[in-house]
Amino acid sequence: MTCTDLSRQINTNNNCLCIGLDPELGKIPKHLLGLKDPIFEFNKAIIEATKNECVAYKPNIAFYESLGRKGWESLEKTMEVIPSTHFTIADAKRGDIGNTSKKYAETFFETFDFDAVTVAPYMGEDSVRPFLEYSEKVTILLGLTSNAGSENFQKLKLKNGSFLFETVLKEASKWGSPENLMFVVGATNAASLTQIRAIIPDHFLLIPGIGAQGGDIQEVITKGKNSEIGLLINVSRSIIYASNGEDFSLKAQEEAKNINAQYQSLLG
């Protein structure tokens, strides 16, 4: 699925919600822990309950690879139950040079068949190029993140008066096209969305940080959307952990519906 396909889904459904699948054994409902694969069973129930309320799912790879072989198996089975109509993102934040990046790209685009993967641009174009060579896939570069540490480097002022993140956006946007290149912009940086849109008016933005991290959804949509909407807004914890009881999937569905209703009222 390319950005054109994603845009069609978003505009047809008036829905730009992406749900992060970040399962932790210490947080999922206790009644699942006795099952053979509690992580998968948790994900499966969340997907079944929320698939009509979102257009994308974003598994955070750290929550799977930390469990070793079983975690990778849970991820593989999770991918099998996500509907083909939904955009899938491997939140892996990979990035290296040469054959290493090529193997990362193979891992997520071929072995697991994700539509997109998040990539760190710090090592430059040659570290990103192996991902972009997959013309029917999407590379999502970290642009301006929502964590406190983004102040360390991303917001450094350069001699030309620009912030470092602005230079990254400007240069990296030349490596691909709005069809195969997306950027991460944290919701807690919504005030910067106007200047970001001036640099990359046509690219999709993946926006994490709504909900538990405190991002302002109205400001994000007002300042971040373009003529094609061009936004994929991720929510994880407030949906998947809406309840830790046996009603967890129902509560996740209710929370996703409430969030989606907010989005739709702002999208127009």
What CATH homologous superfamily does 3-267 map to?
A: Aldolase class I (3.20.20.70)
pTM: 0.96
Flag whether pLDDT at 83 surpasses 60: yes
In 123-192, alpha helices (H): 125-132, 150-153, 164-172
Helix (H, G, I), strand (E, B) or coil at 138: strand
C-alpha to C-alpha distance for 40 and 159, rounded to whole angstroms: 49
Q: What is the mean pLDDT of the chain?
A: 94
183 touches 89 (CB < 8 A):
no
**What residues have CB less than 8 Å from 174, skipping those under 6 apart?**
none
Flag whether pLDDT at 7 surpasses 70: yes
For the annotated catalytic residues, the residue numbers are: 93
In the chain, alpha helices (H): 3-13, 38-50, 62-65, 69-81, 98-106, 125-132, 150-153, 164-172, 193-199, 217-224, 237-240, 248-267
C-alpha to C-alpha distance for 73 and 119, rounded to whole angstroms: 23
Helix (H, G, I), strand (E, B) or coil at 107: helix
**Quick one: DSSP state of residue 46?**
H
Residue 157 burial (CB count, 10 A): 10
C-alpha to C-alpha distance for 16 and 7, rounded to whole angstroms: 9
189 touches 154 (CB < 8 A):
no
Q: Domain residue spans in the chain?
A: 3-267
Structure confidence by residue, pLDDT tens digits, 212-253:
556 678 888 989 999 889 999 999 999 999 999 999 999 999
